[in-house]
Structures are given as structure tokens and as C-alpha cells.
Structure 1
Amino acid sequence: MFTLPLGDTARLRPLEPRHAQEFLAHIDRARPYVDPWIPWATFSTDLASATAVLQRYADKQAEDTARIYGIWLDGTLVGGVMFTRFDSTSGVCEVGCWLEAAGEGRGLVTRACRALIDWAFTERGMTRVEWWAAAGNTRSIEVARRLGMTRDGVLRQHSLYRGVRRDSEVWSVLSEEWSLAGKAAATGEAAAAEVSASDVKAELDRLMRTFLGAFANTGGSRPNLDVIREVFIPQGMIIANVGDEPVVYDIDSFIEPREKVLTDGTMTEFSEWEVAERTEIFGSIAHRFSEYRKSGILNGEPFEGEGRKTTQFIRTPDGWRLSSMAWDDV
């Protein structure tokens, strides 16, 4: 068994059936973050099902068709990377990842995926490595960008999750592209700058994901709007610009009416997610332009919608926080 360092206290190594108990505990922590994007996480709900997931990958590794690896930080399993498909005959494979909150903002997934891609090209002679991501999974898409991948296209309404069809983006990198640019980007001063910038970007992604996830009440779950107070500075401002005049909220006045309709049965099966974003970071301030979609059931009638948000962030002594947000539904 190999162990590959990913940093001072982080390690990458095979994730095997013998790790099932540890894997289950990790998935229980990670479930709110990975369940919308990693379907097999939904199936790891007890020791037997967690063992079955890892055994399935062990069997596929024996067949040379897939592999799975865990990321340990300070001795605790916090995430992993995998070859979800590995076809040595065609020379095409697919890489995926997942991570719980404790591992975020350190560049662990990016470094682990680089190791897998480098192995696939240099040791196994693969021609193409793919990356598939739900269109709303901005964090996954950002990893693809940092890996130097190219977006090949979007498969519209490709996947079904809890009654909602979602678009899937397909990204890829070719062996010749990797040899020219991929490994160079992972070395020297350019890589150090990238890791630093990517750490900030990962934290801003996490804040936005937490904000949007606060409203979800799908599958009978309760929304957790209290986390909005955690991701915003206390003086934060939220502006709805969807009518004739803008409506300006402070944090409390924004939360109260939304918490009511999301918990009294007025609006059920609600979720919203980013489908595109552009984030710019300037030292201790940043802003983000987002396109998002939403769906749910309002007064018994299914609905879907979309809109745009602009969000401002500032770095505080307690870390990055949202300072203001404005949105417009279209």
C-alpha cells in the first residue's frame, strides 16, 4: 500500500473495505456537502452499505475499471478522489472527488487529482482524462479549471436528483496538453501563487454554497437559515431588485419571512444552486457574479426559476465573510 504526501499533515492512500467504519463516520459528516453531487454517498448510510461501496470499488480495481483513494488530514479521513471510470482499451478515464468541510481551503483535492491524472498519463498511457460535474456544482467545476481542463460541452437535463433534472458539464484534458502545461502549472512559483489563490476561491465557494444550501428543505429536511448569520458580517445587507423598486433587508429581516414559508408547509422541496459564476479577488475584498436556478413546490404547485446575484466578500479577523448581496429573478 502506498501513501502520498499532499502537505505537511495530509496524505493520499487507497480507500479499502477495511476502512468502512471510518468511511461511514466521514460520510455522515460530509453528507450535507456531498450528497447533492456524489450519488453513492446517499447509499452509505450504515456499516453494511458503506462496506458495499468500498468493496464495489475494490472489485472494480481488480478488474482495472475504477479506483478510489482517501485523503487523510491530521490522521482523519476528510475526503477522497477516484477514477469513476478507467478504460485502458480506449485510453479514456474519468476522475472525481469529494471533501468534507474540515478539508476545504487547503488545495488537497487539486493536488490529489493531479497525482491521479499524472499517473494515468505517464504510467498507464491514457489519452484523455474526463471530469463530469453537475452544472450547479461550482466547486467541482473550479477544480477542473485549476487542473487545466477544457469544457467540452453541457449535457442538458442529463441527471435526475430528487425529482429535478440537472445539466451535466463535461471537461477533459488530453495527454499532450498535460505534458506541456499540466505538470508545469503544478511546480515552481506559479503553483505557489495558484494554491494561495485557489485557497481563497475555495473558501468563497464554500460560503456561497452554504448560503444557498441554507434554504433547502428537500426530502423532508429542515432549512437552516441560522447559518446565514454565520456567513455574513453582522452589518450585512441583502437587496431584492425584482420589482419596481429595490427592497433592502438586514440579516434578520431577510431571514424571518423566508424561514416561515419554508417551515410552515407553504413552500416544500425547495432548493437553489449556482449554474455559472465569475469571482474576482482583490487582496482582502472580492466580488462574485452568479447565475442560479431554483425549484420547489409552492402552495402545492411545482415551480422552477432562475436569476442572477452579485455578492461582495471581505476578509475579517475571523475569515472571509459575505458583506452584501443583491439579486434579480429573470
Structure 2
Amino acid sequence: MFTLPIGDRARLAPLEPWRAPEFLAHIDRARDTVDPWIPWATFSTDLPTATATLQRYADRLATDTGGIFGIWLDGTLVGGVMFTRFDTTSGVCEIGCWLEKAGEGQGLVNRACRILVDWAFTERAMSRVEWWVAAGNARSIGAARRLGMTRDGVLRRHSPYRGVRHDIEVWSVLSEEWPTAGETSSTSGVRAELDRLMDVFVGAFTNTGGVRPDLDVIREVFIPQGRIIANVGAEPVIYDLDAFIEPRRRMLTDGTLTEFSEREVTARTEIFGSIAHRFSEYHKSGYHKGEWFEGSGHKTTQYLLTPAGWKMSSLAWDDVPATVTG
């Protein structure tokens, strides 16, 4: 079967039923991060159920209605991508992805997904590629955005999972929006990097499911002289990086703010040579001192191209008042 390189150390290949032992070992490593978002991880708990999962996708591949493909890094299975739906009659398909921690931060999912999307458009003449994601899955939403997809909307309380009904965001890209092989990638590459910086910033605060927030990464995405501005009261409050990070680290680790996550829901980015500007809308939710809250607001972010690459230089935000439920 085919194997495609997706970097110097990584490859993409079909994830067939005979690979079930390797697949099961990988899912066991990835279960804590994958299980909340991909239901089949819940059911792949031993060799027979792991084999059954891969067989279902093999059957879909045989009938031209889906498929599953693994990502190997240095010879170890660390994740994959899939066509969860592939409908040639309507010209619409859906892709998805998953990854264990050992494969994170290397662009593997983005490169693998681009191969699937490009094949769907150029080889199979599909009209639309979709990405369905639980509204709280910030990493997957970031992956859709980096592919250049557009958020079409939210299917409220669409999918039940473990007794809870989840909102599902639908993202998509159309064939006419997908860059051809001959098009330059400089602008799209810059946009992808600016998207990544924002994803890192937003993801730094997440402490859902026992995840420990990593606020130190904020220093990596900002220039050292960066400023973060809260414009939510009578007067703006201007922070340097240390003044912004430390009180939020305390709130996110001392029990004041739990099950917290924030995500961009819309964003518009403009690039002007070595500077860029982004205007975005965000949603956030969590427990504050034991009370559930949901909120939203807007951010404006400035970027600079530095000798170390693109960095944030300043960010200002304004909250819409949060709603609290007991």
C-alpha cells in the first residue's frame, strides 16, 4: 500500500485492520486526549474492538464512502486523519483527525489533512469538504482554521456523548477556495503562522479535564516588550507579560477558575508586509468559584515579523458581560 512522506521524519499510510495491535497501543497512549472528542476511541479498548474499528473504515473505503489513514513519526503511530463521510453523489465529504502528545506541535495533522483535501478536490472533483467538531474542542477548531476553512455555524445540542448533548461547529472549505498546486503559499503560510500564534495564546488558559494550563507559552508568542490590555471597565488596564500571566496562573491552578476554555469563533486577519492585524470574536466558559459561566467578547491583536519569526506585539480585549448559572 502507499506511503506518503509528510516531513523528514513522518509518513502517511492507510490504517488497515491488520495494524490493529499497533493501533490499540497508540490509542491507549492517546486515550486521555482523544477519548473526549472521538467516540470510536471509547470503543477501541482491546484487540477485537480495535480491529472492528479499523474494519469499519476498511469497509467504507471499499464502498468509496470513507477511509482512515495513520500518521507515523520516526516509525511510531502517533495519530491519523480520516474521511468520516465521502459522498460522491452530493460532492460533499467530511474529514477529521486525532493525535497523541508525541506528535503535537510539528504540523503533522495540517500536512496530512491537506493531502486528503487536495485529493478530494483534484482527483475526485468534490465540491465541499467539511469539518465537524465539538464546540469545546479548541485544538480541532484551530486545525480547521489553519486549513483555511470557514465556520458555517453551530448545530446546538446536536450530539449526545456520555449523557451530555454537545454543540457541534461545522467548518468547511469549497473547491474554488482551495489553492491550486501552482499558487504561491507565502500569504497562506503567514496566515497559518498567525493562526498558530493565536491558538497557542488561547490554549494557554485551558484547564478542562485535568489539563494543566501552560501560561509560560505566552512569552514565546509575544515579543518581550509586549503589552496586553483589558478594556472592560471604566479605564483600560495595561499589563506587561509578567503582570498579565502571574495572577491568571494562580486563578487557573488554585481552584478559583476550573474547567475553563476559550476559543476564537470568528477572525479576520490583514497582513501588510512585516506587520499584521487581527480582529476576532471569542467565547469562553468554565466554573468561577464553583459557579458555571459563559462569556464572549472581542480581541484586536497586532503582530510583527521579527528576526525570530512572527510574534504578537500587543493584544486588547473587551468582554461582553458573562452569564452565570448556579
Name which of structure 1's ranges 265-274 and 200-209 shifts more when overlaid on structure 2: 200-209
TM-score between both structures, scaled by the size of structure 2 = 0.77
Q: Does 2:143 align with 1:139?
A: yes
Change (3 A) 1:224 1:142: closer
Q: Partner residue of 1:171?
A: 172
Change (3 A) 1:320 1:53: farther
RMSD (Å) for aligned C-alpha atoms: 3.7
SS at match of 1:84: strand
Q: Partner residue of 2:324?
A: none
Name which of structure 1's ranges 21-30 and 59-68 shifts more when overlaid on structure 2: 21-30
C-alpha distance in 1 between matches for 2:198 and 2:32: 17
Can you give the 5+ residue segments of structure 1 that lack an aligned partner in the other structure? none
Q: Does 2:288 align with 1:322?
A: no
Q: Of Structure 1 and Structure 2, which has the larger fraction of its residues in helix?
A: 1
C-alpha distance in 2 between matches for 1:60 and 1:276: 34
Q: Partner residue of 1:187?
A: 181
Give the counterpart of 1:103 among 98, 107, 114: 107
Name which of structure 1's ranges 223-232 and 303-312 shifts more when overlaid on structure 2: 223-232
Change (3 A) 1:87 1:214: same
Change (3 A) 1:212 1:182: closer
1:18-167 matched pairs, under 5 angstroms: 18=19, 21=22, 25=26, 38-40=37-39, 43=42, 48=47, 53-62=53-62, 64-71=64-71, 80-87=80-87, 92-98=92-98, 100-103=104-107, 107-121=111-125, 129-133=129-133, 137-143=141-147, 145=149, 153-159=153-159, 165-167=166-168
CA shift for structure 1 position 13: 2.5
Give the counterpart of 1:293 among 283, 297, 307: 283
Q: Partner residue of 2:323?
A: none
- State the one-letter code of the partner of 1:39: I
SS at match of 1:222: coil
Q: Please say if residues 310 and 325 of structure 1, whose CA atoms lie closer than 8 Å, have aligned partners that are also in contact.
A: yes
CA shift for structure 1 position 10: 6.2
Change (3 A) 1:97 1:105: closer
Give the counterpart of 2:202 among 193, 207, 212: 212
C-alpha distance in 2 between matches for 1:167 and 1:76: 31
SS at match of 1:112: helix
C-alpha distance in 1 between matches for 2:23 and 2:122: 28
C-alpha distance in 1 between matches for 2:189 and 2:21: 29
Q: Partner residue of 2:293?
A: 303
SS at match of 1:215: coil
For these two proteins, the number of residue pairs brought into alignment is 309
TM-score between both structures, scaled by the size of structure 1 = 0.76
Can you give the 5+ residue segments of structure 2 that lack an aligned partner in the other structure? 321-326
Post-superposition Cα deviations, 1:9-30, rounded to whole Å, max 9, x if no partner, equal: 7654212341753785599589
Q: Does 2:224 align with 1:231?
A: no
SS at match of 1:223: coil
Q: Partner residue of 2:186?
A: 196
